[in-house]
Chains A and B, each alone.
Chain A
Amino acid sequence: MQKKMAYSFPDEVLEQVFSFIQSDKDRNAVSLVCKSWDEIERWCRRKVFIGNCYAVSPRMVIRRFPEVRSIKLKGKPHFADFNLVPDGWGGYVLPWIAEMAGAYPWLEEIRLKRMVVTDESLELIAKSFKNFKVLVLFSCEGFSTDGLAAIAASCKNLRELDLRESEVDDLSGHWLAHFPETCTSLVSLNISCLRSDEVSFSALERLVGRCPNLRSLRLNRAVTLDKIANILRRAPQLVDFGTGYYAAELQPDVFSNLAGAFSSCKELKSLSGFWDVVPAYLPALYSICPRLTSLNLSYATIQSPDLIKLVSHCPRLQRLLVLDYVEDSGLEELASSCKDLQELRVFPSDPFGAEPNVSLTEQGLVAVSLGCPKLRSVLYFCRRMSNAALVTIAQNRPNLTRFRLCIIEPKTPDYLTLEPLDVGFGAIVEHCKDLRRLSLSGLLTDHVFEYIGTYGKKLEMLSVAFAGDSDLGLHHVLSGCESLRKLEIRDCPFGDKALLANAAKLETMRSLWMSSCAVSFGACKLLGQKMPKLNVEVIDETEPPDSRPESCPVDKLYIYRSVAGPRFDMPPFVWTMDEAVRILH
Chain B
Amino acid sequence: MELQLGLALPPPPLIPIETFDLNSYGNYETREALGTNALSWPLLKLGPADNDINNIHHHNSSSSSSSSGGGAGCKKRSFDEAPFFDEKRNVPKTLHLLLWTNQPNDEDDDPSNVLHENSSSAIFKNDGEGLVGWPPVKTWRKKVHHQIPNGGTENNRLPAVENGIGGRASKSTYVKVKMEGVPIARKIDLSVHHSFEGLTNTLMRMFGISDGNRKSFKLTYQDREGDWLLAEDVPWRTFIRSLKCLKLIRSRG
A interface list, Cβ under 8 A from B: 24-25, 28, 31-32, 48-52, 55-56, 60-61, 64-65, 79, 81-84, 86-87, 141-142, 165, 167, 169, 193, 195-197, 221-222, 224, 245, 247-250, 275-276, 278-280, 298-299, 301-303, 306, 323, 325, 347-353, 381, 391, 395, 406, 408, 410, 413, 418-420, 423, 426-427, 430-431, 443, 445-447, 450-451, 453-454, 457, 463, 465, 469-472, 475-476, 478-483, 490-491, 493, 495-497, 500-505, 507-508, 510, 516-518, 520, 526-527, 530-531, 533, 551-553, 555, 561, 563
Contact B95 A31 (CB under 8 A): no
Is B25 close to A, CB under 8 A? Answer: yes
**A118 nearest in chain B by CB position:** B171
| 6 A-B pairs whose Cβ atoms sit less than 8 Å apart in the complex | A250-B153, A482-B73, A490-B133, A497-B100, A507-B70, A533-B85
Contact B46 A481 (CB under 8 A): no
Nearest-neighbour CB distance to chain A for B53, whole angstroms, equals 11
Q: In the assembly, what is the distance between CA of A410 and CA of B132, in Å? A: 12
Chain A residues positioned under 8 Å from B130 (CB to CB):
352
Q: In the assembly, what is the distance between CA of A471 and CA of B1, in Å? A: 13
B 107-125 binary contact with A (CB < 8 Å = 1; else 0):
0000110111011001100
**A56 nearest in chain B by CB position:** B84
Chain A residues positioned under 8 Å from B159 (CB to CB):
197, 221-222, 224, 245, 275-276
Main secondary structure of the interface of B (DSSP, over half): loop
Question: Looking at A48, A165, A470, A510, which has the most chain B CB atoms within 10 Å of its CB?
Answer: A470
List 9 other contacts, CB 8 Å, given A493-B116, A552-B118. Answer: A48-B82, A55-B81, A167-B168, A245-B159, A279-B153, A349-B146, A381-B135, A465-B136, A505-B68
Contact B56 A454 (CB under 8 A): yes
B 133-162 binary contact with A (CB < 8 Å = 1; else 0):
111111111101111110011111101011
Contact B84 A60 (CB under 8 A): yes
Nearest-neighbour CB distance to chain A for B43, whole angstroms, equals 7
Partner of A427, one of B17, B46, B161: B46
Contact B59 A454 (CB under 8 A): yes
Q: How large is the interface on B (under 10, 10 to 19, 20 to 34, 35 or more residues)?
A: 35 or more
Contact A470 B37 (CB under 8 A): yes
Nearest-neighbour CB distance to chain A for B132, whole angstroms, equals 6
Q: In the assembly, what is the distance between CA of A248 and CA of B158, in Å? A: 9
Chain A residues positioned under 8 Å from B100 (CB to CB):
475, 497, 501
Chain A residues positioned under 8 Å from B131 (CB to CB):
410, 491
Contact A470 B22 (CB under 8 A): yes
Chain B residues positioned under 8 Å from A472 (CB to CB):
17, 20, 22, 25
Is B234 close to A, CB under 8 A? Answer: no
Q: In the assembly, what is the distance between CA of A353 and CA of B37, in Å? A: 33
Contact A493 B28 (CB under 8 A): yes
Beyond A482-B67, A504-B94, A505-B69, is A28–B83 a contact (Cβ under 8 Å)?
yes
Query: What 8 A-B pairs have minimum CB-CB distances, sorted nearest first?
Result: A493-B28, A82-B133, A500-B98, A505-B68, A504-B69, A470-B25, A504-B95, A518-B115
Please report the number of residue pairs spanning A and B whose Cβ atoms sit closer than 8 angstroms: 297
Contact A347 B137 (CB under 8 A): yes
Partner of B155, one of A278, A491, A497, A501: A278
Beyond A197-B161, A197-B185, A454-B56, is A83–B17 a contact (Cβ under 8 Å)?
no
Beyond A447-B41, A472-B25, is A32–B75 a contact (Cβ under 8 Å)?
yes
Chain A residues positioned under 8 Å from B85 (CB to CB):
507, 533, 561, 563
Q: In the assembly, what is the distance between CA of A381 and CA of B139, in Å? A: 16
Contact B33 A443 (CB under 8 A): yes
Please report which residues of chain B, range 36-55, place their CB below 8 angstroms from some CB of chain A when the two chains form the complex: 37, 41, 43-44, 46-47
**A490 nearest in chain B by CB position:** B133
Contact A301 B82 (CB under 8 A): no
Is B80 close to A, CB under 8 A? Answer: yes
Beyond A24-B81, A250-B154, is A491–B119 a contact (Cβ under 8 Å)?
yes
Q: In the assembly, what is the distance between CA of A503 and CA of B83, in Å? A: 21
Beyond A50-B81, A426-B46, A510-B81, is A278–B153 a contact (Cβ under 8 Å)?
yes
